[in-house]
Amino acid sequence: MPAPSRTSIAEIVSAGRDLLESGGPAALTMQKVAQKVGVRAPSLYKHVRDREALLSAVSAATIDDLAECFAGSEESLDSLFRAYRAFAHRWPEGFRLMFSPGAPLDSLERASEPVLAAARDLAGAEALEAARLMTAWATGFIHMELAGAFRLGGDVDHAFEYGLEHLRAGLER
Amino acid sequence: MPAPSRTSIAEIVSAGRDLLESGGPAALTMQKVAQKVGVRAPSLYKHVRDREALLSAVSAATIDDLAECFAGSEESLDSLFRAYRAFAHRWPEGFRLMFSPGAPLDSLERASEPVLAAARDLAGAEALEAARLMTAWATGFIHMELAGAFRLGGDVDHAFEYGLEHLRAGLER
DNA sequence: ACCTGAACACCGTTCAAGT
DNA sequence: ACCTGAACACCGTTCAAGT
């Protein structure tokens, strides 16, 4: 009666991320995840409470990747937000999942720590407000961009740089 | 062989909105919608192509409501964005749906017309950039707020007003 | 012209039975 | 201790048959 694990939580989460990115949330199915890790669907419940918990785990793994991404970027606000946008382009579904109800808020807070640190250099006592303002702007910008909501009027890259510059300037003062 | 319609597209969309707001997207089920309008699920397909098309129609109806909401507010940028946030609080699921893939982008563009008009008074030639910057900020702020991502540090209403003030000031000059 | 029941393929999840 | 098949309740969708 040994019965060693034929899969692992890490493998399951990784399979979930693949399915999510390639077909959206509807494609992340317990049955497809099971097939990908070489097991039957009921076995997944030995490793994960239910589909919702798996989605949370996928969200947390994505946020951890974002934190790593921040760690590998320069520490200026501009660099951090450019890295944020590049990350969202590489993992659009994961990005959306990060801000869904049920997202792991602790991880999100931890990942945004470098932004807060950079804001402290710029805005001193109002660092928290400044960090929130820029984070809200970037998050909304990317959301709208991913939804295809920027249709009239030119270069989206340029619009992002425009926003970055104006916000930084407005907060320096 | 008359067989008059026992329901209508308007009734179906309205039932869909109710279900969406009270239980999230997963609760918007063809079967539940059918039950609410007094018909069996297969009959819905005489009025709507499929569930995805129904979600788009719900999204469009929500955006129309937002446009009405803008029309009933003062024309200043501050008033418009406060109305935007209040609207999102009243219809949080509809708000999220507005920025999902498959959203009716034409309607969204039309609804945001008053914001663009107000931005012209403030920023002149750079009105489009200014409107986008403020819209992206407000959209991200609300998204994060609805996801529960503002946990440390005080009054969220105050944070919104702080952002409003700083952005307006930064764009005026 | 619209509605219906029956049917199909697919879900998430539970559970007793296997090893 | 993990895996499995069978089962259950629920999906979306199609379609022939009713009125």
Q: Are A109 and B151 in contact (CB under 8 A)?
A: yes
A2 CA → D4 C1’, Å? 16
Please check whether residue A45 touches B, CB under 8 A: no
The contacts found for B160-164 with CB under 8 angstroms, 24 or more apart, are: B160/B82, B160/B85, B162/A129, B162/A133, B163/A129, B163/A132, B163/A133, B163/A136, B163/B137, B163/B138, B164/B77, B164/B78, B164/B81, B164/B82
For chain B, percent of residues with pLDDT exceeding 90: 85
| pLDDT, greater one: A121 or A9 | A9
Q: Are B43 and B7 in contact (CB under 8 A)?
A: yes
Q: If you average pLDDT over residues A39-60, what whole number do you get?
A: 98
- Taking the CA of residue A4 and the nearest CA in chain B, the distance in Å comes to 36
A138 vs B contacts (CB less than 8 Å): 136, 140
Task: State yes or no: pLDDT of B171 exceeds 70.
Answer: yes
The whole-number pLDDT of residue B125 equals: 85
**Residue whose entry in the numeric block shows the structure tokens 């009105």:** B127
Task: State yes or no: pLDDT of B173 exceeds 90.
Answer: no
A19 CA → D1 C1’, Å? 28
Q: Is the CB of A53 under 7 A from strand C?
A: no
The whole-number pLDDT of residue B133 equals: 96
A159 vs B contacts (CB less than 8 Å): 129, 132
Q: Residues 6 or more apart from B112 whose CB is under 8 A from it?
A: B131, B135
The whole-number pLDDT of residue A160 equals: 96
Query: How many alpha carbons lie under 13 Å from residue B166 in its C-beta half-sphere?
Result: 25
- On whether the pTM is more than 0.75, the answer is yes
The whole-number pLDDT of residue A4 equals: 87
> Taking all residues of chain A, what is their mean pLDDT, rounded to a whole number?
94
B142 CA → C9 C1’, Å? 39
